[in-house]
Chains A and B, each alone.
Chain A
Amino acid sequence: MVSAPDEDEPLREPRSCGHLFIVFTRLALQGFGGVLPVAQHELVERERWLTRDEFLEMLSVGQVLPGPNVVNLSLMVGDRYFGVRGAAFALAGMLVVPLIVMLGLAVLYGRFADNPTIAGALRGMGAVSAGLVLATAWKLASSLRKNPLGVPLSLGFGTATVVLVAGLRWPLAGVIAVLGPLAIALAWSRLRR
């Protein structure tokens, strides 16, 4: 079942603020070790509120702003349909129920942290969460084909980011400060036409 959902079906919209709350609660509760892959699956493939391009665009903006990028993404999606109220409901969906679950787990954690079965399960979930993030990158790669920078430059900037962040362990702010202006300036010059 391999399909490119961007092209064939029209986008849908959330019906109400309550609907926003439910969708964001559902996606947050599935996000073990990071909500981003689930957000991509739920918002782009299941609910079809955003195209892959829009998702990557919102994520890029969320990334450079302070605060967790998925939380910033939820604010932008909510605000797009129902203004500040929508942003508040999407944010609440992202945080309220997971926060209750988390505090419940915090109470239990002390008792079960040393259990080898629990520790093993957490390791297995950690491995899957790594794969999920890589899959998200794979899916969003197709959006780079339409980038005004062109494929070679896009891949070049992507690779440079990986080398600096994962290889040389630069702080994120430093990587964005060095590569960001360069990539934006190149995109600016290519958009002249």
Chain B
Amino acid sequence: MIATLHGADLFALFVHFLLLSLLAVGGAITTAPDMHRYLVADQHWLTNAQFTGSIALAQAAPGPNVLFVAVLGYNVAGLPGAMATMAGIMLPSTTLALWAARWGRSRKETRGVRAFTSGMAPLTFGLLLSTGWVLAVPSRDSAGGMLLVGLSTVVVARSQCSPIWLVALGAIVGAAGYA
């Protein structure tokens, strides 16, 4: 069931995601609570189940997680909806990222930029560990799941094995009911 939105509603959808884009430090997923407020509570364009299902699907499918924004848009208003939400969430942040990267690169060897990148590196490292930790939460009650977490950590860290093989292994083990 996909509603048809009129031009004005579609434009409002675009503008809302345009505004969220610049708040999405740490990824678009950090603004999901606000998307929920707007799409489900205020506008009634999506149900709770549609909203949660859209995010779960995007986590499981290949590609950057930000694509959940396109699924939300699609479930609101079909393809035009997906285009409106994706264009909105991408335009401001990509423009800013490109500009900031150039600014930083032309001053790469200055003390300020070096202090910034080397000061932030340990935080980035900590954020990666935290992300791994949070993603492992659903597997914590399952021996097979924890074995998969450990095995994929060691194999990928200690060899140049492509991650896709371990994802395939995880899918098979999980489908057989052991994860």
Q: Does B13 contact A (CB under 8 A)?
A: no
Instruction: Give the size category of B's interface with A.
Output: 35 or more
**Could you say which of B26, B114, B178 contacts A63, with CB atoms under 8 Å apart?**
B26
Contact assessment for A33 and B64 in the assembled complex, using a CB-CB cutoff below 8 Å: no
Instruction: Give the size category of A's interface with B.
Output: 35 or more
- The answer for the CA separation of A192 and B120 in the assembled complex, in Å, is 18
**Could you say which of A66, A95, A156 contacts B93, with CB atoms under 8 Å apart?**
A66
The binding surface of chain B is classed by DSSP as helix
Contact assessment for B159 and A2 in the assembled complex, using a CB-CB cutoff below 8 Å: yes
The binding surface of chain A is classed by DSSP as helix
Q: Does B41 contact A (CB under 8 A)?
A: no
Further 4 A-B residue pairs, CB within 8 A, beyond A105-B61, A127-B142: A31-B63, A67-B21, A133-B135, A187-B114
Contact assessment for A64 and B25 in the assembled complex, using a CB-CB cutoff below 8 Å: yes
Contact assessment for A149 and B122 in the assembled complex, using a CB-CB cutoff below 8 Å: yes
Q: Does A165 contact B (CB under 8 A)?
A: yes
Q: Does A14 contact B (CB under 8 A)?
A: no
How far in angstroms is the closest Cβ of chain B from A59?
Answer: 6
- Given contacts A129-B135, A161-B127, are A122 and B64 in contact (CB under 8 A)? no
Contact assessment for A136 and B100 in the assembled complex, using a CB-CB cutoff below 8 Å: no
